[in-house]
Amino acid sequence: MSKDLSWLGERLEIDGEFVSAVAYGSGHINETFAATYEMRGAGSEAGSGRRRFIHQRINADVFKDPAALMDNLARVTRHIRGKLEAQGDEDVERRVLTLIASRDGSDRVIDESGGYWRTFAFIEGAATFDVVGTIDQAREVGRAFGEFQRQLIDLGPPPLAFTIPGFHNTPERLRAFRGTVERDVCDRAAAVRDEIDRVEHYADLADRLLGLQRGGEIPLRVVHNDTKINNVLIDDETGEGLCVIDLDTVMPGLVADDFGDLVRTTSCFAREDDRDLSKAVVELPIFEALATGYLSRAASFLSRAEIDSLILGSKLMTYEMVLRFLGDHLAGDTYFRIHHAAEFGQDGITRRIDHPAFVFLDLAGKNFPVFGEGLEGALMIVPHQAGVTHHVGAKDGGQLALDVGCCHGRIPHGMA
């Protein structure tokens, strides 16, 4: 159904007439519309001079300081654009988001209820996917996020604003979780005692990454913080990971958070509310492709300690989701929409939560070779003729060699 956003078009530097706008994409944070305009420019005849734009209304419940968010976004896109132009890229308009200015010289429009709107040029000939379809796609998505981080390593001062304070502060999330257990407002804690115990079993994980950062072993960098596959536009023709989008959570953070969330969300085919828990495993070929793609761009700037922290990030991002899902269950399902009646407190431990992350976490702790105990630090760079080779250690002593130089990988016997 078309939405009349002509009032918005009139306030923007778009030399054209608003035609229509439809809700667009599968994002669920902001309101996103694809709008078509009939352009006036010379030579654009009726019907043939149409252009599309993305109008987005920022979700004010999630982002409390939209002005600071927009400042971040403008700086980040300007910086990346500058880099692409400097290297003579011929497809700059499709490789970085282009903010459309308003007629009063701003990059945002505030509506009568105080809502913030921003508009981007529509990147044509590309699409996003909610689930990874091919190994190549996984590699491209990993590469795109690695490239994104790389483009921003030299973003000048001041630091970007924290658009969501404490976003990946896992110890804080654990404290909040414990408070929720204490309060037990819905009287549900007794039924999920086993799950709570399991959260506590992994509690020493919570502060490990931040501890490394406090100790000066790993730095804060500019990271994306929402590294889902559907935040990369994939070129329809070439399959290239063309443009990283959804920049609302770009802020200072740890590269391990980005890599970890990418692994958590992309290398596992179970939906977050899947009942088929056998799917809640890391698909190794996907993991391998993500790591290969990511490191093909990021290895050039990451420190050894940061590379060592990537696997830890994958565990921690999973652990955070467990804290949030179980915490939300205890608080009365106020945040996550639960698609199935929760079955806490019934059969086997891993089957009771409406969230495969629990299974995933157990695998991370015990069974799964890549995430097995003692394997942090197993992802390493060793010199290799073809460029740089990364190894993921395996429990049986085998290694997953990712040859970044020529971008192929092999999974050693017994690991697939």
Q: Which residues bind Mg ion (CB under 5 A)?
A: 27, 231, 246
Tell me if 285 contacts ligand ATP by CB under 6 A.
Answer: no
Tell me if 310 contacts ligand ATP by CB under 6 A.
Answer: no
In the complex with ligand ATP, the residue whose CB is nearer, 31 or 217, is 31
SS3 151: helix
From the DSSP assignment, how many helices (H) and strands (E) are in the chain? 11, 14
Binding mask 212-241 for ligand ATP (x = CB under 6 A): --------------x---xx----------
In the complex with ligand ATP, the residue whose CB is nearer, 63 or 371, is 63
Q: Cβ 348 to Mg ion, closest distance in Å? A: 35
In the complex with Mg ion, the residue whose CB is nearer, 225 or 231, is 231
CA 265 to chain centre: 8
Tell me if 252 contacts ligand ATP by CB under 6 A.
Answer: no
What CA–CA distances, in Å, run from 212 to 262, 309, 334, 353? 21, 9, 33, 31
Binding mask 47-76 for ligand ATP (x = CB under 6 A): -------x----------------------
Residue showing tokens 């549900």: 188
Return d(Cα 229, Cα 246) in angstroms, integer: 11
Among 23-31, 141-149, 312-320, 378-386, the segment contacting ligand ATP (CB under 6 A): 23-31
In the complex with ligand ATP, the residue whose CB is nearer, 35 or 174, is 35
Q: Cβ 336 to ligand ATP, closest distance in Å? A: 13
Tell me if 97 contacts ligand ATP by CB under 6 A.
Answer: yes
Which uninterrupted H or E stretch holds 390? Answer: strand 387-393
In the complex with ligand ATP, the residue whose CB is nearer, 81 or 188, is 81
Biggest CA-to-CA distance, the chain: 71
Return d(Cα 102, Cα 106) in angstroms, integer: 5
Binding-site partner at residue 48 among Mg ion, ligand ATP, none, CB < 5 to 8 Å by type? none
Alpha helices in 224-346 (DSSP H): 255-266, 284-298, 304-331
Question: What is the DSSP pairing of strand 116-121 with strand 50-57?
Answer: antiparallel
Q: Among residues 128, 180, 267, 399, which is the contact residue for ligand ATP, using CB under 6 A?
A: 128
Residue closest to 19 by CA, chosen among 53, 56, 57: 53
Buried b (16+ CB within 10 A) or exposed e, 133-147: eebbbbbbbbbbbbb
Please give the size of the binding site for ligand ATP, defined by CB under 6 A: 20
Neighbours of 212 (CB within 10 A): 19
Q: Among residues 6, 17, 19, 29, which is the contact residue for ligand ATP, using CB under 6 A?
A: 29
In the complex with ligand ATP, the residue whose CB is nearer, 19 or 29, is 29
Binding-site partner at residue 403 among Mg ion, ligand ATP, none, CB < 5 to 8 Å by type? none
Residue closest to 363 by CA, chosen among 279, 261, 273, 260: 279
Q: Among residues 229, 245, 312, 316, which is the contact residue for ligand ATP, using CB under 6 A?
A: 245
Tell me if 24 contacts ligand ATP by CB under 6 A.
Answer: yes
Which value, in Å, is the radius of gyration of the alpha carbons in the chain? 22
Q: Cβ 230 to ligand ATP, closest distance in Å? A: 5
Binding-site partner at residue 97 among ligand ATP, Mg ion, none, CB < 5 to 8 Å by type? ligand ATP
DSSP 187-235: S-GGGGHHHHHHHHHTGGGTTHHHHHHHTTSS--EEE-S---GGGEEEE
Tell me if 27 contacts ligand ATP by CB under 6 A.
Answer: yes
Residue showing tokens 């011929």: 90
SS3 325: helix
Q: Cβ 243 to ligand ATP, closest distance in Å? A: 7
Q: Cβ 176 to Mg ion, closest distance in Å? A: 25
Return d(Cα 8, Cα 251) in angstroms, integer: 28
Q: In this structure, are residues 274 and 239 in contact, taking their beta carbons and an 8 Å threshold?
A: no
Binding-site partner at residue 120 among ligand ATP, Mg ion, none, CB < 5 to 8 Å by type? ligand ATP
Tell me if 368 contacts ligand ATP by CB under 6 A.
Answer: no
Q: Cβ 247 to Mg ion, closest distance in Å? A: 10
Q: Cβ 48 to ligand ATP, closest distance in Å? A: 21
SS3 278: helix
Q: Which residues bind ligand ATP (CB under 6 A)?
A: 24-30, 32, 54, 97, 120, 122-123, 128, 226, 230-231, 245-246, 248
